[in-house]
Amino acid sequence: MVRRCLLLLVGLALGVAPATAQQTNDCLLTVIIEDGDVYDGRGADPVVTDVGILGDRIAALGDLDACVAGRRLDARGLAVVPGFIDIHSHGTRGVFRYPLAENLTRQGVTTAIGGPDGSSPYPIGEYLAQLDATPPAVNFGLMVGHGTIRRAVMGNEDRTPTTAELDTMRALVGRAMADGAFGLSSGLKYVPGAYAETEEVIALARVAGYFGGIYISHMREEGLLLLEAVHETIRIGEEGGLPTQITHHKVVGAPMWGRSTDSLALVDDARARGVDITIDQYPYTASSTGLTILFPAWSLEGSRADLLARLDDPDQRRRIKDGIVANLRDDRGGNDPKNVVLARCGWDSTLDGMSLAEVLSVQDRQVTLATAAELTMELQAEGGCSGIFHAMQEEDVHRIMRHPQTMVASDGGILAPGEGVPHPRNYGTFSRVLGHYSRDLGVLRFAEAIRKMTSLPADRLDLADRGVIEAGAYADIAVLNRETINDPAVFENPHQYATGAAHVFVNGVAVILDGEVTGTRPGRALRHER
């Protein structure tokens, strides 16, 4: 009787009425999702059955007609899947600013891992304690960033660390891992990570590996030197002795289009000899980051004042311009100033959404790679902008997506409509894979797409009891309409929520119910357990 009362209280807390049908008391549940097409998350075809939730766990699968439940949800014709895990999230600030994380939950995302690309909060323990105190709607965990650690010890200096500095960095990584970080992330394309030699990263990766963590890398290059960067990533994983992942794997710049065949072959060869390496990807042909990605790394050493001084020096400015022109031609710029679009310029919102070519035209300047490079330097001197870089092709996106070791990840944040003109991946990554690429184009089986969003990242992170639908697993569940899953967010109008999510549960509590946000915040701070 006490147990039944508790279940009814849970149902009332969820804002639902207790069931009134004549049922036995042998099976008491919080929620029953009835007659859905249940995908286990491991790639198997769906089974039509019921899913029973009790508290924060999946308590039962099968015919649950005889059970008493606080709420019964009719899922006939709908896909019942594990909640999606975004293994590459820039939501470390947004999770506090927008704790309902609607841009994630409306896609079916129930867990996100922050701290990618070598940049993370620190100390990890303090951040997770703050999450404990102010939980969001989704579960949230962290990687520890190599760049964050390096900057804390060495500043923004382009040099090799001393023995003492490397020891300090090792200790800081160790502390982060002990505090619950899931592994070490690097951003070797960004400063200060770009200043690190491979041996430095290996030394820190070994510490993460000692604690059972993973190494996830934004590689040193994704354009002309892509294959060399893949070799380096494999080496770090192999010599560091830990699972390794190439994050947002892509092929940037027309001179390299099609070379995903070669990069994936390197991954397969490494796996064949025992290197534990995997991939993640977002489903778009454009990337997004700060305009400084176009600058040569040497020019970014030190402070902003140092960069401005270099831009004021004619010889150094010419060298910087040459480097930007090369990147616009062969890398992120796609060999055309129209391919670089300003996502957000905090100091002048009128520029948001304009390409470099459009800004030059408005200013009555000739549109060339050289003038685009000059404009890029001017924008950075004014305060900087984030950009969207259209420099990939669909063939590579398809090929990488099909690889069995590729998981889906957004490389987006947690945000709300109204700020800038961001990359649509913030709103549509997972829904785009399921709708556009799986249902419409047939690039992936639906069950395989679900695996890439659920059990594959969960296994990678050692997230026990998440990423699957099975008895005893956490009740992170999405109920989706396969016919209406879509990603209306587009580059010109990105602030649009995904469609197709009927119900979404996080730790057994509905955050989306009948297509509407409930306002509940049942997410948890996740800590890696060695």
Q: How far apart are CA 260 and CA 525, in angstroms?
A: 36
330 is in which domain, residue-wise? 290-390
Which two structure tokens, joined as six digits, stand for 291?
A: 């305009």
pLDDT at position 21 is 34
Q: Is residue 221 part of a domain?
A: yes
Same domain? 232 vs 284: yes
pLDDT at position 25 is 60
pTM attached to this predicted model = 0.94
> Is the distance from CB of 285 to CB of 339 less than 8 angstroms?
no
Tokens 């947002």 belong to 248
Which residues touch 73 (CB under 8 Å, ≥6 apart)?
31, 32, 33, 34, 479, 503
Q: Is residue 103 part of a domain?
A: yes
Same domain? 274 vs 143: yes
State which residues of the chain have pLDDT below 50.
Answer: 1-24
Same domain? 324 vs 406: no
Same domain? 336 vs 189: no
Same domain? 107 vs 158: yes
Q: Is residue 517 part of a domain?
A: no
Helix (H, G, I), strand (E, B) or coil at 520: coil
Same domain? 192 vs 224: yes
Distance set, CA 197 to CA 95, 148, 160 (Å): 33, 16, 7
Q: How far apart are CA 429 and CA 332, in angstroms?
A: 20
Rg (CA), the chain: 24
State pLDDT tens for residues 158-215. Answer: 999 999 999 999 999 999 999 999 999 999 999 999 999 999 999 999 999 999 999 9
Same domain? 187 vs 164: yes
Tokens 């304009």 belong to 354
**In the listed set 334, 357, 390, which residue is the last one of a domain according to the structure?**
390
Q: How far apart are CA 252 and CA 218, in angstroms?
A: 13
> Is the distance from CB of 106 to CB of 496 less than 8 angstroms?
no
Residue 273: exposure state from Cβ atoms within 10 A (0-12, 13-18, ≥19)? exposed
**In the listed set 410, 432, 461, which residue is the last one of a domain according to the structure?**
461
Pairing label, strands 57-62, 47-54 = antiparallel
Q: Is residue 55 part of a domain?
A: no
Same domain? 343 vs 219: no
CA 290 to mean position of chain CA atoms: 17
Which two structure tokens, joined as six digits, stand for 525?
A: 């701070």
Q: Is residue 476 part of a domain?
A: no
Same domain? 235 vs 114: yes
* Number of separate domains in the chain: 2
Which two structure tokens, joined as six digits, stand for 92?
A: 């470390």
Q: Is residue 69 part of a domain?
A: no
Q: Which helix (H) or strand (E) holds 145?
A: strand 144-145
CATH number at residue 415: 3.20.20.140
State pLDDT tens for residues 130-146. Answer: 999 999 999 999 999 99
Same domain? 441 vs 373: no
Same domain? 278 vs 145: yes
pLDDT at position 530 is 77
Same domain? 199 vs 306: no
**In the listed set 436, 461, 486, which residue is the last one of a domain according to the structure?**
461
pLDDT at position 8 is 37
Q: Is residue 352 part of a domain?
A: yes
Q: How far apart are CA 98 and CA 136, in angstroms?
A: 8
Q: Residue 328: which region, alpha, beta or left (left: phi > 0; alpha: psi -120 to 50)? A: alpha
Q: Is residue 112 part of a domain?
A: yes
